[in-house]
Amino acid sequence: MMLAGAALMASIAMAQNTSKEINDIKRNESYIYAEATDRDAEKAFGMARDLLISFMVEYAQGERELSDDDHELIKKNVDRLQRMQMARGEQMRVFVYIAKTDVLSTAASSPQPKVEPKPEVKAEPKPSAKPEAKVTPAQSKPLSQPLPQTMAGSWQEKVINDLLACETLSQGKAMLNRLKAEYRVKRTGYMSTCTDPAVCYLLVGDAEGKLKTVLSPGDGQRTNLRTKAADTLDNYDANTAIWFMLAK
């Protein structure tokens, strides 16, 4: 009993020390950090890592103009992150952080100055070819219902399918932040920040944080992209909804 009590006290002390270290890092403006919680510590780490990447890109964009190579270097530089974790009930809280000086260190080795626009080279007009004959496609029967907003086989459809595969809203939000860093998602946020809901996709869930579906853009009436049936945000808890806009 004494050994068990001593082990418990040591565990509590370790958790308190970890919590104090995390709070110290959060208060230190020299670091960028992110965290996530899940029953599986590695899943929590993956979500926290994706969030950290998006925060690193946002910070770097505020410091300088970034090239595509810089974005790739920053993603590679995330390997310099530090990881801490502690139990939170039956789940694991994973906290990751990186020094701001490490975010741009690789990109700084090959600075990208503001590029002056190259003189415009006017392409010589191609010899006029025979005017293309407009091919009138065979008349197809009108569709009985509108197609979903994404085209079959497109990367946009894959993004929607990947989001639908998430089990929780937290996982979906982490994926949206990662897609934003990859320029596949233009903007995202909670409904309280949405200025034009009709043009936005909606990631919706329930009060327990589980992801229910993705709704297509629409003014009131939308398409449930899981069931392909007509649906509306009124059928869900709007407080949990996350809006996003896909890049074209």
138-182 pLDDT tens trace: 444 333 334 344 455 688 888 999 999 999 989 999 999 988 888
pLDDT reported for residue 112: 45
CA–CA distance from 85 to each of 21, 97, 164, 181 (Å)? 11, 12, 28, 25
pLDDT at 37 over 60: yes
Rounding to the nearest 10 degrees, give the CA dihedral for residues 121, 127, 129, 131. Answer: 60
> Concatenated DSSP letters for 202-213?
EEEE-TTSBEEE
For β-strands 82-88 and 201-205, DSSP reports them as unpaired
pLDDT reported for residue 95: 94
pLDDT tens, residue by residue, 92-128 = 999 999 998 888 775 444 444 444 455 555 555 555 5
In the three-class reduction of DSSP (H, G, I as helix; E, B as strand; rest coil), residue 99 is classed as strand
pLDDT at 88 over 90: no
**Cut 0.75: pTM above it:** no
Instruction: Tell me what the pLDDT averaged over the chain comes to.
Output: 78
Q: What is the CB neighbour count within 10 angstroms for residue 197?
A: 17
